[in-house]
Amino acid sequence: MSLGAMDLFQNVPPEVSVYEVSPRDGLQNEPIIVPLAGKVQLIEALAQAGLKRIEATSFVSPKWVPQLADAGEVIAALPKIEGVTFSALVPNARGLERALEVGLPEIAVFLSASETHNKMNVNKTIDATLDVFREIVPPAIEAGVRVRAYVSTVWGCPYEGDIPVAKSVRIAKRLVELGCYQVSLGDTIGVGTPKKTFEIVGAVLSEMQRDQIALHFHDTRGTALANAVIGLELGIRTFDASVGGLGGCPYAPGASGNLATEDLVYMLHGMGVTTGIDLDKLLYAGQVASQVVARPLSGKVHQAGTFKLRKV
**Long-range contacts, 63-68 (Cβ 8 Å, 24+):** 65/28, 66/33, 67/27, 67/28, 67/29, 67/30, 67/32, 67/33, 67/34, 68/24, 68/27, 68/28
pLDDT surpassing 70 at residue 131:
yes
**DSSP line for 79-123:** ---TT-EEEEE--SHHHHHHHHHTT-SEEEEEEESSHHHHHHHHS
pLDDT surpassing 90 at residue 255:
no
Query: Where is pLDDT greater, at 256 or 259?
Result: 259
Question: In this prediction, what percent of the chain has a pLDDT beyond 90?
Answer: 87
In order of their start, the domains of the chain are 11-304 (3.20.20.70)
Task: Give the predicted TM-score (pTM) of the model.
Answer: 0.95
Q: What is the pLDDT of residues 76-93, one digit of tens each?
A: 999 999 999 999 999 999
pLDDT surpassing 60 at residue 3:
no
Please give the pLDDT value at position 249.
Answer: 67
Please give the pLDDT value at position 37.
Answer: 98
Please give the Cα distance from 55 to 27 (Å, whole number): 11
- State the maximum Cα–Cα separation within the chain, in Å, rounded to a whole number: 65
Helix segments in the chain, DSSP class H: 5-8, 36-48, 71-77, 93-101, 115-122, 126-133, 137-142, 165-178, 194-205, 224-233, 261-270, 279-293, 300-304
Please give the pLDDT value at position 310.
Answer: 59
Please give the Cα distance from 306 to 26 (Å, whole number): 23
- Dihedral, CA of residue 124, residue 125, residue 130 and residue 136, to nearest 10: 0
Please give the Cα distance from 36 to 165 (Å, whole number): 40
**Average of per-residue pLDDT across 118-143:** 96
Please give the pLDDT value at position 309.
Answer: 58
Rg (CA), the chain: 18
- Classify the C-alpha dihedral 43-259-233-167 as positive or negative: negative
Q: What is the pLDDT of residues 173-207, one digit of tens each?
A: 999 999 999 999 999 999 999 999 999 999 999 99
- Catalytically active residues are 249
**Average of per-residue pLDDT across 297-301:** 95
Q: What is the pLDDT of residues 218-253, one digit of tens each?
A: 999 999 999 999 999 999 999 999 999 998 766 655
Please give the pLDDT value at position 64.
Answer: 87
**Average pLDDT taken over every residue of the chain:** 94
Query: Where is pLDDT greater, at 4 or 294?
Result: 294
Pick the closest to residue 297 from 42, 19, 86 (CA basis).
Answer: 42
The strand pairing partners of 110, in sequence order, are: 150
Please give the pLDDT value at position 1.
Answer: 47
Alpha-carbon distances of 237 from 64, 72, 149, rounded to whole Å: 33, 30, 16
Alpha-carbon distances of 167 from 8, 120, 174, 216, rounded to whole Å: 31, 18, 11, 18
